[in-house]
C-alpha cells in the first residue's frame, strides 16, 4: 500500500488539485490492489478485514502526501452503513461498486441551520404514492462531483420532544430536482464542497436504508468510522510532515551545524512526536473496539480529537522547522495546512467531542 501511494506522492496530488481533476489514477491503482474495500464484507467483493485495515490505507495514503476525503466518505461511512443496514438488493446495487472502487458515494447530513445539532435537521422526506419526496438543503457535502449516489439523512417525523426521527436514503447524484452549488473554500484538496438543494426529489422506498424513523442509530453507526478515518488521515499527514521536518532539520545548516542539533528545533519536534504516537495508539484502540463490535464512541471521539490536535501541531512545527521554505510550494507542507486544520472542525468539531467526553466519560451535565 505504502508503495502504491508513494509511487504517486504529493506532487501527483498537488497536480490533480491545481488542475481541478480527481485523483482517479491513484484511486484506480488502489482499487486494483483491493485496498478500497478492505473493510467491507468479502461476499460483496471486499477484503473482510475490518475498519483497522481501511484506517491503515487512509494513514498510508496521507503519509505519502495524498490525503483523500473520499476514502472517509465512500467506503468508510456509506460502505459501513450499507454493509450493516442495507438489504441484499441494496448491497448488490451499491456495496459491490464501493468495494471495487467503481462506485463513489457522498454522505450528506450537515445543514445550514441545524449545524452540529443533527436532531434539528429540516430536510424532510414525505411519503407519497411512489415512495418519498425529499425537500431541503444540505451544506459542505464533499465529493459530490465524483459521486454516483449520496447517502442523505432526512427527517420523516418528530418524536414527542420535537427531535427529528431520521431516515436515510440513497439518492442518485443526478436525480431530477437535486441541484448543487459549488462552495469555494481555501482547501487544497481534490474533493470539492457543495451545497445541495432538494426540490421534490422522488425517491423510491427501496432506496431507504433501514427502517423509517430509525436513522439516528444508523447515523451513529456511520459516525464512529468517520471519526476513526479522520484520525487516521491526521496521523498520516503528520507522519508525512514529520518525515520532511526531520530530513530538513538534519540537512539544513545555518550556524555550521544542522538546525536539528539546536534544542529549540529538536525539542518541539520530539514533543509533537510523543503527541502523535499517543494519538496513533488511541486510533488503534478505537479501530479495535469498533471491529470487536463494542461501543467505540468514546475511543473514536478521543482518537479524532487527539489526532487532529497532534496533527496540527506536527504540521505547524514542520513548517516552522523549514523557516521561510515552509511556505514554498516546492516543500509541500503549506498546501496541506487547511486540510489538516479542517480536521479539528470536521467531521465533528473539537467542541462537540469535548461535550461528548464531558457528558459520557465524566458524567457532567450538558448545557444544550
Ligand atoms: C471542507 C468540509 C467538508 C465537509 N464535508 C462534509 C460532508 O461530506 N458531509 C457532511 O454531512 N458534512 C460535511 N461537512 C460539515 C462538517 O461536518 C461541519 O462543518 C461540522 O460538523 C461543524 O458543523 P457546523 O459547520 O454547522 O458548525 P456549527 O454547528 O455552526 O458550530 C460552529 C462552532 O460552534 C461550536 N459549537 C456548536 N455547538 C456547540 C455546543 N453545544 N457546545 C460548544 N460548542 C459548540 C462548534 O464546535 C463550532 O466551533 C464538511 C465541512 C467542511 C468545512
User: Per-residue pLDDT tens for 300-323?
Assistant: 999 999 999 999 999 999 999 999
Residue-level pLDDT at 81 = 95
| Nearest in space to 197 (alpha carbons), one of 111, 84, 316, 94 | 111
Residue-level pLDDT at 235 = 98
More confident residue, 2 or 352: 352
Domains of the chain are 2-103 (1.10.540.10), 107-213 (2.40.110.10), 217-361 (1.20.140.10)
How far, in Å, from the CA of 119 to the mean position of ligand 1? 14
Residue-level pLDDT at 71 = 94
Nearest ligand 1 atom to alpha carbon 111: 26
Angle at which helices 337-345 and 297-321 cross, to 10°: 150
For the segment 114-167, what is each residue's pLDDT rounded down to a tens digit? 999 988 999 999 999 989 999 999 999 999 999 999 999 999 987 777 777 999
Q: Is 349 in the pocket of ligand 1 (CB under 6 A)?
A: yes
Residue-level pLDDT at 163 = 74
Residue-level pLDDT at 288 = 97
Ligand 1: residue of 105, 109, 116, 168 to mutate (most ligand atoms within 8 A of CB) is 116
Give CA separation, 248 vs 64, 243, 254, 266, 324, in Å. Answer: 17, 9, 12, 12, 12
Please work out, in degrees rounded to the nearest 5, the angle formed at the alpha carbon of residue 297 by the alpha carbons of 365 and 69: 120
Residue 220 reports pLDDT greater than 90: no
What is the rounded CA–CA span in Å between residue 141 and residue 195? 6
Calculate mean pLDDT across residues 338-350. Answer: 97
Residues above pLDDT 90, as percent of the chain: 94
Residue-level pLDDT at 330 = 96
Nearest CA to ligand 1 atom 48: 349
What is the rounded CA–CA span in Å between residue 17 and residue 47? 30
Residue-level pLDDT at 107 = 97
Residue 294 reports pLDDT greater than 80: yes
Amino acid at each position: 500500500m505504502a508503495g502504491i501511494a508513494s509511487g504517486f506522492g504529493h506532487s501527483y496530488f498537488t497536480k490533480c488539485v491545481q488542475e481541478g481533476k480527481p485523483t482517479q489514477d491513484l484511486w484506480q491503482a488502489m482499487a486494483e490492489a483491493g485496498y478500497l474495500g478492505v473493510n467491507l464484507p468479502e461476499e460483496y467483493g471486499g477484503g473482510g478485514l475490518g475498519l483497522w485495515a481501511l484506517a491503515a490505507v487512509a494513514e498510508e495514503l496521507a503519509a505519502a502526501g495524498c490525503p483523500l476525503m473520499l476514502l472517509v466518505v465512500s467506503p468508510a461511512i456509506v460502505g459501513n452503513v450499507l454493509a450493516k443496514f442495507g438489504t441484499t438488493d441494496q448491497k448488490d446495487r451499491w456495496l459491490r461498486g464501493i468495494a471495487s472502487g467503481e462506485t463513489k458515494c457522498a454522505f450528506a447530513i450537515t445543514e445550514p441551520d441545524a449545524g452540529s445539532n443533527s436532531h434539528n435537521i429540516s430536510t424532510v422526506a414525505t411519503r407519497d404514492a411512489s415512495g418519498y419526496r425529499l425537500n431541503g438543503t444540505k451544506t459542505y457535502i464533499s465529493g459530490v462531483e465524483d459521486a454516483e449516489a449520496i447517502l442523505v439523512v432526512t427527517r420523516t417525523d418528530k418524536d414527542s420532544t420535537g427531535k427529528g426521527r431520521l431516515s436515510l436514503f440513497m439518492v442518485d447524484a443526478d436525480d431530477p430536482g437535486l441541484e448543487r452549488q459549488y462552495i469555494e473554500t481555501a482547501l487544497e484538496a481534490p474533493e470539492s464542497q457543495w451545497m445541495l438543494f432538494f426540490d421534490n426529489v422522488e425517491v423510491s422506498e427501496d432506496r431507504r436504508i433501514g427502517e423509517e424513523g430509525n436513522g439516528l442509530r444508523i447515523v451513529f453507526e456511520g459516525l464512529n468510522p468517520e471519526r476513526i478515518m479522520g484520525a487516521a488521515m491526521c496521523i498520516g499527514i503528520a507522519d508525512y510532515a514529520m518525515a520532511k521536518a526531520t530530513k530538513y532539520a538534519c540537512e539544513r545548516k545555518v550556524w555550521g551545524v544542522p538546525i536539528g542539533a539546536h534544542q529549540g528545533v529538536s525539542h518541539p519536534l520530539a514533543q509533537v512526536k510523543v503527541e502523535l504516537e499517543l494519538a496513533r495508539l488511541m486510533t488503534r484502540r478505537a479501530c479495535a473496539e469498533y471491529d470487536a463490535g463494542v461501543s467505540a464512541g468514546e475511543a473514536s471521539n478521543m482518537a479524532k480529537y487527539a489526532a487532529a490536535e497532534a496533527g496540527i501541531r506536527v504540521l505547524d512545527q514542520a513548517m516552522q522547522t523549514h523557516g521561510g521554505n515552509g511556505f514554498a510550494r516546492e516543500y509541500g507542507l503549506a498546501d496541506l495546512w487547511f486540510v489538516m486544520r479542517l480536521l479539528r472542525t470536521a467531521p465533528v468539531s473539537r467542541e462537540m467531542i469535548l461535550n461528548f467526553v464531558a457528558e459520557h466519560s465524566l458524567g457532567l451535565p450538558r448545557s444544550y
